[in-house]
Amino acid sequence: MNAFLLERFHNFFGPGPDPLAVRAPGRVNLIGEHTDYHGLPVLPMAIGREIRLLFRPRADGVVRIASANGFPARQFRVSREIAPFEQGDWGNYAKAAAQALACEYGHLAGMDALVWGDIPPAAGLSSSSALVVAFALALAGAARAADLPVLTSGHADVGVNYEDGAWDLHVHAEDLGLEYEPDGVVLQVGAEALTQVPTNAAFSFLGDAGAPIWVLPAVENHDLLFLGLGTEELAPGIFSNDTVTLSLKSVTGPGDFVLYTLDMFGNPVVSMNSRDGIDASDSRVLTAGGHTHVNWVFTAPGQYRIGLQASGVLAATGETNTSEVAEYLFEVQYAPILSVTRKDAATLTLQWLSREHHEYHLQSSSDLVNGPWSAHPDVDAVEGTGEFMTLAVPVEPGPRFFRLEIYEEAHHHHPD
């Protein structure tokens, strides 16, 4: 590893383990210039000039990049939808790689990265492409290095304990008999968690009626993680009234977070809600030796870090004792699940959650296994809005199956 770059890395990002390294060469097209990004034949050849990237994984999903060539430092958080910097900003190449990998593979670790290159820009040698490839390789390497386990289903708890004068906030995977540090495991909110805000005005705290939300419910669904709040390990007599308070301190992610339950009459009781800001009211009282299940709600797909803090009044001294803020990792998944319901005797209603910058083509077939599948007659392609889309189609004789063909809007741009 280049000693000069290694020194620069530690100067930028401080002490810690030595970084890993990736490289991506520039290239020339022997034939087929300006046809590669249209999917046509080319014959490229790598050259001796390259982009080098030194990186060190981060557990918080933040990407910090610095340049040994004099470009300004940049920082962003990995998610499936990352707002770009200003047009032409070099940090957008890192964002493009991060967003593509997050959409394809879900949760990614962050990283600190130092970039150096000797490919002349705007010289037809694919310096921009090499930069994107280097970022993608580094992000994939950071994810492998972090290698966090993922809980997708089964019974688990956000556990709260206090023992020998110290707080212990953790994740307890009950079915596996394992405990994890709060940021040592990914709690997956599967695509099956997608639903809509009820029309009942009592649920308006979740957003507009009909808006998409993802819910890990308080009632077990075997397709989803059954996540509760557990104080079974917390011994009685330590805290006044045998209670502690779990407070929401931060929400980092693409949307908002809500925690609520239902009373015996079916009315919602909200404990935490980042939609109206975070303050002391965003908390829930827990009883020592107890266990409860709640509804965990997220308003957009992507990666979240939820900061929680425990506190209680020590029975022996009357003093309030407060834990450090523990950050829990959630991965909220998106999938265009197509639902089909019968509106009336002559009409079917098809509905799915769309995404912006995507185009949806409805296909149908009378044979689910063998097809053939073709465009459903008299139904035009629709542009995604980020909201639920609804189509009405007439009922036809015999069986009829439906699926969506999805195209992401292409923005062809030759990097050099």
* Residues 212/387, Cβ–Cβ less than 8 Å: yes
- Model pLDDT, residue 186: 87
List pLDDT tens digits, range 193-224: 999 999 999 999 999 999 999 999 999 999 99
- Model pLDDT, residue 106: 64
User: Would strands 178-180 and 302-313 be described as parallel, antiparallel, or unpaired?
Assistant: unpaired
The DSSP code sequence of 306-326 is EEEEEEEEBTTT--EEEPPPE
- Give, to the nearest 10 degrees, the angle between helix 127-146 and helix 91-105: 50
**CATH class as words, domain 3-146:** alpha beta
CA dist 403 and 367 (Å) reads: 12
List pLDDT tens digits, range 64-90: 999 999 899 999 988 878 889 999 899
- Model pLDDT, residue 413: 32
Count other Cβ atoms within 10 Å, centred on residue 260. 20
Give the domain ranges of the chain. Answer: 3-146, 150-332, 339-408
- Model pLDDT, residue 60: 73
- Model pLDDT, residue 402: 92
339-408 has which fold? Immunoglobulin-like (2.60.40)
Distances (CA, A) of 290 to 75, 216, 242, 250, 324: 41, 20, 10, 25, 22
The CA-to-CA distance between both ends of the chain, in Å, stands at 29
- Model pLDDT, residue 282: 97
What are 276's two structure tokens? 């109206």
CA 112 to chain centre: 19
Backbone φ and ψ of 309, nearest 5°: -140, 135
Taking alpha carbons only, the member of 353, 371, 352 closest to residue 363 is 371
The low-confidence residues of the chain, meaning pLDDT below 70, are 1, 106-107, 144-147, 409-416
